């Protein structure tokens, strides 16, 4: 097993799951790109390293992307090959690294403009590169950007507690917290209140806007691009389902981590292939399964 495959298989992420439906070559290239993204993320998040060591490790990846490393590792060689073979624009990868770098000494965004600058770097830029690697054309850029914003906003809403208590990071804009009267002390003490629910619903509406924009952009794409982007569409359904779970449950983010189980993910992946949207198909499917399980 290659280094990229090992990283991807251990990650058990929603993106890694969605890649199972790609053709072999595209899946292998996406595994390499995902392993790069995962590695960059781990450089910033894993304990035991000084800020200087983290910056140095990120600088090395920038050198890899620019083709100026003399002793590349297996993963570094694989990523270089993908970049050269597909003639990838590497600027989104550099922006991704710089976005992750900002988390080493993270500062709470003051407003939505700063928040969206961050989500663009760490998520939309991943989407821009991923779309090309999966075989879509440059026409998919607007879709990738919108979907990236949406997915990262869902992550931010879901992980408010973990981000703060694990890494002392706050991604909810200060301006938005002030708008609803939710304070830093409330976050520290994990206060579950109407103010928190209103704040998170406010951020969820922004995520919904980007999901809707992504859906509109997807429908405007040529069929070949839509086919290539099926894994991204599966991600859209998975993360939108997570958002709906939080909305329906009242955003109890301090008590649980909202997720979609493997069975449900498989259904969403299947639904993506058939371009089925209504929830009723899933409800009927689950109902039939439960009926036969009781027999």
pLDDT tens across 233-242, in order? 989 999 999 9
Looking at the fold, whether 168 and 279 belong to one and the same domain comes out as no
- Alpha-carbon gap, residue 283 to 295, rounded angstroms: 19
Q: Which domain holds residue 267?
A: 261-295
d(CA 187, CA 92): 33
Residues 54 and 103 in one domain: yes
48 and 146 in a single domain? The answer is yes
Same domain as 130, residue 112: yes
CB of 151 closer than 8 Å to CB of 145: no
If asked whether residues 15 and 59 sit together in one domain, one would say yes
The string of pLDDT tens digits covering residues 178-237 is 999 999 999 999 999 999 999 999 999 999 999 999 999 999 999 999 999 998 998 999
**Are both 152 and 266 inside the same structural domain?**
no
Judgement on whether residues 142 and 275 belong to the same structural domain of the protein: no
The domain tally of the chain equals 2
Average pLDDT, the chain: 89
Per-residue pLDDT at 56: 97
Residues 204 and 249 reside in one and the same domain:
yes
Residues 253 and 268 in one domain: no
The span from the CA of 23 to the CA of 134, in Å, is 9
Distance CA 32, CA 18 (A): 15
Pair 112, 132 in one domain: yes
Q: In this predicted model, which residue has the larger pLDDT, 150 or 12?
A: 150
Read off the CATH number of the domain in which 50 is found: 1.10.600.10
Give pLDDT tens digits for 284-294.
445 544 544 44
């Amino acid at each position: 097993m290659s280094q990229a495959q090992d990283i991807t298989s251990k990650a058990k992420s929603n993106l890694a799951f969605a890649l199972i439906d790609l053709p072999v070559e595209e899946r292998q290239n996406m595994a390499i790109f995902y392993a790069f993204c995962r590695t960059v993320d781990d450089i910033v998040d894993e304990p035991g390293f000084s800020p200087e060591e983290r910056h140095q490790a990120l600088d090395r990846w920038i050198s890899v992307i620019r083709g100026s490393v003399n002793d590349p590792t297996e993963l570094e060689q694989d990523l270089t090959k993908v970049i050269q073979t597909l003639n990838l624009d590497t600027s989104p990868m550099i922006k991704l690294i710089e976005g992750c770098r900002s988390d080493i000494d993270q500062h709470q965004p003051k407003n939505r403009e700063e928040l969206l600058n961050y989500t663009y770097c760490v998520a939309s830029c991943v989407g821009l590169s991923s779309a090309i690697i999966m075989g879509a054309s440059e026409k998919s850029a607007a879709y990738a950007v919108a979907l990236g914003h949406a997915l990262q906003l869902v992550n931010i809403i879901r992980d408010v507690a973990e981000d703060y208590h694990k890494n002392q990071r706050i991604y909810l804009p200060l301006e938005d917290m002030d708008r609803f009267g939710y304070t830093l002390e409330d976050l520290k003490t994990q206060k579950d209140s109407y103010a928190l629910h209103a704040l998170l619903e406010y951020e969820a509406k922004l995520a919904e806007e980007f999901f809707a924009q992504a859906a509109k952009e997807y429908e405007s794409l040529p069929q070949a691009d839509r086919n290539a982007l099926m894994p991204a569409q599966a991600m859209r359904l998975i993360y939108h389902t997570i958002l709906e779970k939080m909305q329906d449950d009242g955003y109890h983010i301090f008590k649980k981590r909202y997720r979609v189980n493997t069975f449900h993910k498989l259904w969403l992946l299947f639904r993506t292939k058939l371009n089925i949207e209504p929830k009723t198909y899933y409800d009927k499917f689950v109902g039939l399964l439960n009926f036969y399980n009781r027999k």
